[in-house]
Amino acid sequence: MTVDGHRTSMSLEPVMWDALRDAARREGMTANALVSQLAERSPRTLTSDVRAFIAGCYRAAATEAGHSAAGHGLELPLTVDRFMTDPGPSPTLPAERLASVR
């Protein structure tokens, strides 16, 4: 990772790296540029700031419709179990379960 022209290291989980790259792409910049902007604005720990930024992005994007589509709040196995074992794309419900949510 290059921050303000200086090489630095940051330990993030693979899912967090993916989320950082996704956020940077949505903002029309590289992950390095996004992290450089975060570094300019905060004197705290860079890795912590990156995680907080990513969480903020996803919280801002979360909607009730999205939670329903993902099956949050239903009597299904906990969604968190899926994210901890397979941090791939967002979960989707089978068509028959999705129809019952609507």
Q: Which residue has the tokens 């921050």?
A: 3
Q: Which residue has the tokens 């419900």?
A: 93
17 and 57 belong to one structural domain: yes
Mean pLDDT, the chain, as a whole number?
Answer: 76
Of 102 and 61, which is predicted with more confidence?
A: 61
46 and 69 belong to one structural domain: no
Residue 31: C-alpha distances to residues 36, 81, 90 (Å) = 8, 28, 21
For 97, the domain range is 63-102
Residue 99, pLDDT score: 42
pLDDT band at 16 (very low <50, low <70, confident <90, very high): very high
Residue 55 has pLDDT above 60, yes or no: yes
92 and 51 belong to one structural domain: no
Q: Which residue type occupies 33?
A: A
